């Protein structure tokens, strides 16, 4: 009886206490009303996380005043004060604004190609936006692993860390991402986008907030490369409240990563200070030991002046300055096929001194002004400076004096047994058995561009005009030399120092004027987007010769080449319903000609036909594309096994076509407390030459009509599956890449030219243990699959083996 009375008393007390408190609940959405899941909602000293429908609830909230705070990376932070009266059930719904523009009222900014997640649905054509939430799933510092989740992207791995990515789109070619338009915050970011676009500098991916991709006719306003598409990396945007971010992680092979930033916005001033540091000891093993890793550090600052919120014209002036330095013990020297089979992560003694040192400085000033809700414009001035010296083994000479390049040596070691013994650590006699080239190059890129947006909404139709003009100049300065080494007991010894400028001593400068006009008309269910782009480019080379390192001009040779072209495009979209869209487009593909006499620009006619489905719970796309090249352009680079002269080659007619499909959906019903989102991306690509010719380009060689293009996987598949509930989330990503050719050809692929099909899976687990604080653990290459990543620049190269990572992150907002 006594126990029963105590139980009744406890029940009454509990009910009484609960009756003295209320609750708060609501929904968090974006500006378009789309629910946002996994948003941290903090109430005083408690917090919860929104579910799949953006819903949250906090019970047992005492009567009185409270503050609810919302934080979500990539969106504005909000703090709302409210009061609970008479134990009420308070409902607080909030809409968050994406932070991808300098001014809230600026719908379209040159910082972003898409306008963010909120605007993606309204963009005609092939567009993709990878949000901060998606980037956090795996916390990759290698952009190639992230881009695998998108269809239509071609990738060739190289070093395993994504230091210098090889990215193409729709079969454009992948070498050093030289056939796509690469940007950071809408500014050209290749070292010399016109004169030398190969991205030996690539923006530090680990500090980026979002990623955008435009393909087909939807990207005609971005250039100069219009065949495949444009890739824009959006850096961390200035927060609208005092916010600090700290990320630290450690991984296998001595990996360390630190990402920290702090920013705030006042009435008329805003700032952001950021640093990103990453390093690794590397996963390859040098004969006799030695470093094979890298260290990279990145510093960035943004300062913004802005008009008052009630000013007649909203204006902002943003200064962005950055510095990136890198030292990596990376090499072009791979392995022979037999050595790869025996010890895939081995590095030969002959590559022990290979080292890349780089320094990149960026500076930009962007002015934005909103004249009216329908009229806005921006002007941006920018300057990028980049210096790099990749000091690496170039040739090996045997005792008979026969020198051979490392690519030829590793492709056919049986024909070069003397050189093979040397590169693997054998003792040498004489001078200069090992030729180590200092690929010393300096770049700059500078210019100014203006963009104007005008919108007008009629009774039954809407129109938008976007116009832009850019004046640009860039340059590459090659000032290279070769040092001679011998080998003694596996240790390289310097025998003769080369003279700077004695191997390559030349400047290539590009002056470019680009302009475009794009008009979008929406009437009823139809959207028409015609566009026209102008590229006027003059390239000039000054070759001082290897005998004039002082550049007196005694042996100066000057050559020049001008290209002026119009690039038209047309995109039409039909909205079948609120969820279904059909579109088709045609545009001219273009890439600038080289400076060589007789070099022609790359030219193609590109068409696409696609369908898109979009709802709150599922999104799907399917696109057929067809690129008809009248002239395919190739470039001689050491990264493709060539001599590295930068000379361009006309490849004549070629055809590339394919299919891109993607699907994203939650497999569980809306009523479930669990989220089980799945994402699938599939790409089929077929590319081949239409004519026969002989080429000095290593990856083409003797081409016959019908030969398939190299490093173009005919099929790619990506599958991502996640499980999310409350504070926990688990994400898995698996990619399949079919057999690829390393050299143009047809029929069965010879072993020495085959990059075999492979499957790689990654996994990550996240737990949020406090408001804005989380921990995660991940593993790349879960099954520890050993696979061939590429057979260039020289020899067989492995992909990254299984690597574990653990880390913590805090994002605190006041």
Q: What is the pLDDT of residue 571?
A: 95
Q: How far apart are CA 290 and CA 710, in angstroms?
A: 33
Q: Is residue 101 part of a domain?
A: no
| Residue that is last in its domain, among 96, 131, 160 | 96
Neighbours of 37 (CB within 10 A): 19
Query: Where in the sequence is the domain holding 407, given as residue range(s)?
Result: 234-813
Polymer length in residues for the chain: 814
Q: What is the pLDDT of residue 104?
A: 55
Q: DSSP assignment of 583-623, as one string? A: EEEEEEEEE---SSTT---EEEEEEEEEEEEE-SSEEEEEE
Q: How far apart are CA 254 and CA 237, in angstroms?
A: 30
Q: Is residue 552 part of a domain?
A: yes
Query: Distances in Å between the alpha carbon of 261 and those of 31, 239, 302, 680?
Result: 26, 10, 11, 33
Residue 765, pLDDT > 70, answer yes
Structure tokens at 236: 């961390």
Q: Which of 231, 170, 173, 141 is nearest to 792 (CA)?
A: 173
| Residue that is last in its domain, among 80, 96, 112 | 96
Q: Is residue 221 part of a domain?
A: no
pLDDT digits (tens, 9 = 90+) for 665-685: 999 987 788 999 999 999 999
Torsion of CA 546, 547, 551, 555, to 10 degrees: -100
**Mean pLDDT to the nearest integer, 599-616:** 92
| Residue that is last in its domain, among 49, 66, 96 | 96
CB contact set of 19 (below 8 Å; sequence gap of 6+): 87
**Mean pLDDT to the nearest integer, 381-405:** 97
Domain count, the chain: 2
Looking up residue 23, the CATH number of its domain turns out to be 2.60.40.10
| Secondary structure E strands in 92-228 | 94-96, 126-130, 153-156, 166-169, 181-184, 187-188, 208-215
Q: How far apart are CA 707 and CA 691, in angstroms?
A: 9
Q: What is the pLDDT of residue 17?
A: 44
Partners of 557 in beta bridges = 543
137 in Cβ contact with 764 (< 8 Å): yes
Residue 13, pLDDT > 80, answer no
Query: Distances in Å between the alpha carbon of 448 and those of 313, 492, 518?
Result: 23, 48, 19
Q: Give the SS3 label for residue 135.
A: helix
Helices and strands: H and E segment counts in the chain? 7, 49
Neighbours of 313 (CB within 10 A): 10
Q: Give the SS3 label for residue 377.
A: strand
Q: Is residue 170 part of a domain?
A: no
pLDDT digits (tens, 9 = 90+) for 235-255: 999 998 899 999 999 999 999
Alpha-carbon Rg for the chain, nearest whole angstrom, is 28
Q: What is the pLDDT of residue 77?
A: 82
Q: What is the pLDDT of residue 733?
A: 98
Which DSSP helix (H) or strand (E) runs through 143? Answer: helix 143-147
> Which range has the worst mean pLDDT, 111-125, 265-279, 612-626, 787-801?
111-125
Q: Give the SS3 label for residue 325.
A: strand
Q: Give just the sign of the alpha carbon dihedral 146, 219, 789, 354.
A: negative
Q: What is the pLDDT of residue 642?
A: 64
Residue 14, pLDDT > 90, answer no
Per mean pLDDT, which of 139-153, 665-679, 689-703 is the most reliable?
139-153
Q: What is the pLDDT of residue 670?
A: 78
Structure tokens at 125: 């054509």
Q: Which of 320, 350, 317 is nearest to 332 (CA)?
A: 350
| Secondary structure E strands in 50-105 | 55-62, 64-71, 78-84, 89-91, 94-96
Structure tokens at 685: 């690509």
Query: Distances in Å between the alpha carbon of 171 and those of 238, 626, 627?
Result: 36, 10, 9
> Which range has the worst mean pLDDT, 161-175, 493-507, 626-640?
626-640
| Secondary structure E strands in 159-268 | 166-169, 181-184, 187-188, 208-215, 229-235, 243-251, 255-265
Neighbours of 221 (CB within 10 A): 22
Q: What is the pLDDT of residue 105?
A: 53
Torsion of CA 537, 538, 539, 540, to 10 degrees: -170
> Which range has the worst mean pLDDT, 18-22, 417-421, 608-612?
18-22
Looking up residue 390, the CATH number of its domain turns out to be 2.40.170.20
Question: How far from chain centre, in Å, is Cα 114?
Answer: 15
596 in Cβ contact with 648 (< 8 Å): yes
Q: What is the pLDDT of residue 16?
A: 44
Q: Which of 386, 377, 383, 410 is nearest to 396 (CA)?
A: 410
Q: What is the pLDDT of residue 774?
A: 95
**Mean pLDDT to the nearest integer, 561-566:** 94
Mean pLDDT for the chain overall: 92
pLDDT digits (tens, 9 = 90+) for 530-561: 999 999 999 999 999 999 999 999 999 999 99
177 in Cβ contact with 200 (< 8 Å): no
**Mean pLDDT to the nearest integer, 102-111:** 60
Q: What is the pLDDT of residue 639?
A: 66
Q: Is residue 671 part of a domain?
A: yes
**Mean pLDDT to the nearest integer, 686-713:** 87
Q: Is residue 244 part of a domain?
A: yes
Q: Is residue 453 part of a domain?
A: yes
pLDDT digits (tens, 9 = 90+) for 176-232: 999 999 999 999 999 999 999 998 999 999 999 999 999 988 788 999 999 989 999
Residue 18, pLDDT > 50, answer no
What's the half-sphere exposure (Cβ side, CA atoms, 13 Å) at 474?
Answer: 27
> Which range has the worst mean pLDDT, 350-364, 636-650, 703-717?
636-650
**Mean pLDDT to the nearest integer, 315-344:** 97
Q: Is residue 598 part of a domain?
A: yes
């Amino acid at each position: 009886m006594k126990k029963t009375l105590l139980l009744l008393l406890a029940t009454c007390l509990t009910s009484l206490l609960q009756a003295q408190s209320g609750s708060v609940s609501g929904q968090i959405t974006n500006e378009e009303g789309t629910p946002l899941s996994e948003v941290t909602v903090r109430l005083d000293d408690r917090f919860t996380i929104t579910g799949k429908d953006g819903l949250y609830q906090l019970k047992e909230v005492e009567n009185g005043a409270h503050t609810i705070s919302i934080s979500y990376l990539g969106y504005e932070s909000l703090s709302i004060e409210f009061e609970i009266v008479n134990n009420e059930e308070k409902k607080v719904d909030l809409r968050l604004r994406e932070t991808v523009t300098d001014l809230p009222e600026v719908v379209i900014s040159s910082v972003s190609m898409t306008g963010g997640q909120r605007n993606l649905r309204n963009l005609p054509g092939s567009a993709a936006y990878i949000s901060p939430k998606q980037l956090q799933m795996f916390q990759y510092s290698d952009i190639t692993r992230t881009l695998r989740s998108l269809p239509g992207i071609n990738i060739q791995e190289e070093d395993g860390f994504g230091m210098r990515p090889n990215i193409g789109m729709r079969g454009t070619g992948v070498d050093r991402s030289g056939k796509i338009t690469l940007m950071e915050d809408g500014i050209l970011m290749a070292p010399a986008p016109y004169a030398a676009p190969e991205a030996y500098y690539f923006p530090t991916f680990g500090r980026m907030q979002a990623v955008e991709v435009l393909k087909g006719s939807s990207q005609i306003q971005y250039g100069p490369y219009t065949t495949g598409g444009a890739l824009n990396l959006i850096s961390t945007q200035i927060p609208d409240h005092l916010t600090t971010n700290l990320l630290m992680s450690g991984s296998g092979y001595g990996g360390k990563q630190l990402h920290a930033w702090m920013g705030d916005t006042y009435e008329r001033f805003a700032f952001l200070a950021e640093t990103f540091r990453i390093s690794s000891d590397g996963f390859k093993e040098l004969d006799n030991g030695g470093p094979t890793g890298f260290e990279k550090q990145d510093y960035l600052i943004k300062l913004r002046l802005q008009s008052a919120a009630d000013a007649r014209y909203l204006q902002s002036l943003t200064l962005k300055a950055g510095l990136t330095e890198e030292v990596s013990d990376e090499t072009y020297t791979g392995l022979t096929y037999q050595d790869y089979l025996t010890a895939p992560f081995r590095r030969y003694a002959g590559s022990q001194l290979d080292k890349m040192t780089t320094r990149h400085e960026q500076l930009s000033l962007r002015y934005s002004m909103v004249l009216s809700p329908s009229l806005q414009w921006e002007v941006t001035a920018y300057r990028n400076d980049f210096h790099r010296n990749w000091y690496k083994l170039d040739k090996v000479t045997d005792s008979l004096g026969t020198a051979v390049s490392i690519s030829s040596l590793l492709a056919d070691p049986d024909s070069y047994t003397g050189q093979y013994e040397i590169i693997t650590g054998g003792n040498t006699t004489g001078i200069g058995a090992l030729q180590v080239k200092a690929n010393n190059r300096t770049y700059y890129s500078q210019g100014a561009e203006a963009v104007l947006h005008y919108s007008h909404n009629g009774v039954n139709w809407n129109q938008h005009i976007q116009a832009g003009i850019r004046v640009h100049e860039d340059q590459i300065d090659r000032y290279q030399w070769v040092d001679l080494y011998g080998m003694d007991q596996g240790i390289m010894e310097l025998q003769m120092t080369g003279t700077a400028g004695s191997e390559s001593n030349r400047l290539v400068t590009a002056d470019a004027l680009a302009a475009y006009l794009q008009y979008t008309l929406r009437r009823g269910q139809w959207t028409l987007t015609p566009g026209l782009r102008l590229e006027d480019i003059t390239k000039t080379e000054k070759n001082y010769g290897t005998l004039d390192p002082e550049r007196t001009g005694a042996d100066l040779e000057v050559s020049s080449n001008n290209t002026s072209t119009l690039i038209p495009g047309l995109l039409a979209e039909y909205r079948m319903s609120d969820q279904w869209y059909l579109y088709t487009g045609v545009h001219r593909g273009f890439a600038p000609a080289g400076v060589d006499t007789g070099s022609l620009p790359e030219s193609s006619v590109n068409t696409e036909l696609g369908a898109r489905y979009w709802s709150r719970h599922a999104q799907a796309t399917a696109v057929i594309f067809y690129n008809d090249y009248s002239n395919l352009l190739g470039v001689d680079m050491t990264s493709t096994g060539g001599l590295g002269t930068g000379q361009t080659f006309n490849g004549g007619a070629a055809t590339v076509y394919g299919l891109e499909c993607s699907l994203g959906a939650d497999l569980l019903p809306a009523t479930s407390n669990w989220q089980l989102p799945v994402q699938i991306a599939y790409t089929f690509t077929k590319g081949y030459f239409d004519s026969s010719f002989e080429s000095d380009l290593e990856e083409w060689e003797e081409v016959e009509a019908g030969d398939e293009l190299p490093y173009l996987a005919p099929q790619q598949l990506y599958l991502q599956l996640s499980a999310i509930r409350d504070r926990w989330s688990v994400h898995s990503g698996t990619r399949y890449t079919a057999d690829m050719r390393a050299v143009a050809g047809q029929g069965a692929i010879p072993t020495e030219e085959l990059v075999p099909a492979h499957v790689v899976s990654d996994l990550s687990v996240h737990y949020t243990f406090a408001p804005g604080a989380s921990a995660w653990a991940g593993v790349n290459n879960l099954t520890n699959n050993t696979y061939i990543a590429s057979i260039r620049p020289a020899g067989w190269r492995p992909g990254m083996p299984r690597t574990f990572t653990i880390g913590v992150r805090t994002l605190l907002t006041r």
